[in-house]
A = this chain, B = another copy of it.
Amino acid sequence: MDARTIGIFDSGAGGLTVLHDCLVTLPHEDFVYLGDGARCPYGPRSTEEVRRFALEVASYLERAGVKLIVNACNTATAAALPLLQERLAVPVVGVLAPEAHAAVQATRNRRIGVLATEGTVRSGRYAQVIRTLDAGAAVLSVACPKLVPMIESGGSNDALVAAVREYAAPLKEAEVDTVILGCTHYPLVRPVFERVFGRGTTLVFSADETAREVAETLARKGIENDPRRDGECTFLTTGPPDDFRSLGERFLQLPIPSVDRVSLSELELEAA
């Protein structure tokens, strides 16, 4: 048994969909969530910058004494996961390999689609991990630049459906039977993806698969908390706490009682 907290980070509030699934799977664990709101989004930034930010944030969590870190940001996982794993002593689970593994297990015709941000698609990491597991799988990745802004602004459903249809079209054309939704924002509009792709397509979401990976990892390492207790969550952000709370409650699908601010200088100073 291990009473230490689990750390989860993302550039903003999107990773709260991962926290939501972790809470469903592991209600007896404590979590600390750190959103790097002051420097969000990571998507348009250079790989080098994303690496530095991810290392600062993850190092802060390690110093706080967590037992495991979840990199709940697809962009930061694609850019920085190996670096974090090399630099930190605490294990770091990313959101990418669990989905790739699930997609390889699920596909029947071995044609897998990926919908993600431009940075994630450009990194090529999904295709790489999928091909490590199944060298004969065909992978088609489509960048979806419109979706994150639309989901965050909570705009018209018609425009969102039209955008999803547009991004889905080449995947349907290629007859993929399994689609990885490779961005933590996408579970918020799960019904739209379900309707556009229909019953014949298996949808793989980061949040589900990462929670499963975290649960298996804790069990195999023997570092689970007492299953009879109720876990607690702490929320931290480098940006304005009120912004985090208002967006975060939609992603977490629960009220967020309080959010504490971590100053960037605290991250940077201590990482130096």
Which residues of A line the B interface, CB within 8 A?
81-89, 91-92, 97, 101-102, 105-108, 110, 129, 132-137, 202, 213, 216-217, 220-223
User: By DSSP majority rule, is chain A's interface helix, strand, loop, or mixed?
Assistant: helix
- B residues less than 8 Å from A91 (CB atoms): 110, 134
Q: How many copies does the complex hold?
A: 2
Contact A106 B136 (CB under 8 A): no
Q: Which residue of B lies closest to A132 (CB)?
A: B132
Whether the Cβ atoms of A86 and B135 lie closer than 8 Å is yes
Most buried by B among A91, A97, A136, A217: A136
Chain B residues within 8 Å of A81, by CB? 135
What is the CA–CA distance of A87 and B216 in the complex, to the nearest angstrom?
32
Residues in B with CB closer than 8 Å to A132 are 97, 129, 132
Contacting pair A221 B108 (CB below 8 A): yes
A107 contact from B89, B101, B221, Cβ within 8 A: B221
Question: In the complex, what distance in Å separates the CA atom of A81 from the CA atom of B132?
Answer: 10
Chain B residues contacting A110 (CB-CB under 8 Å) are 89, 91
- Collect the chain B residues with CB atoms within 8 Å of residue A83's CB: 135
Listed A/B pairs (14) with beta-carbon separation below 8 Å: A82-B135, A85-B135, A85-B136, A89-B110, A91-B134, A92-B136, A101-B101, A105-B213, A105-B217, A105-B220, A106-B220, A108-B223, A129-B132, A202-B220
Chain B residues within an 8 Å CB radius of A101 = 101
Taking the closest CB of chain B, its distance from the CB of A83, in whole angstroms, is: 8
Which B residues are in CB contact (< 8 Å) with A85? 134-137
Which chain B residues lie closer than 8 Å to A88 at the CB level?
136
In the assembled complex, the Cα of A55 lies from the Cα of B136 at a distance in Å of 14
A97 to B134 Cα, complex, angstroms: 10
Q: How far, in Å, is A89 (CB) from chain B's closest CB?
A: 8
Complex CA gap A84/B85 in Å reads 31
Which listed residue (B97, B134, B202) contacts A133, Cβ 8 A?
B97
Least CB distance, A175 to chain B, in whole angstroms: 14
Q: A83-B135, A85-B137, A202-B220 are in contact. List 19 more A-B contacts (CB 8 A).
A: A81-B135, A82-B136, A85-B134, A86-B136, A88-B136, A89-B110, A91-B110, A91-B134, A92-B134, A92-B136, A101-B101, A105-B213, A105-B216, A105-B217, A105-B220, A105-B221, A106-B220, A106-B221, A108-B222
A216 to chain B, nearest CB (A): 6
Nearest residue (CB) in B for A223 is: B108
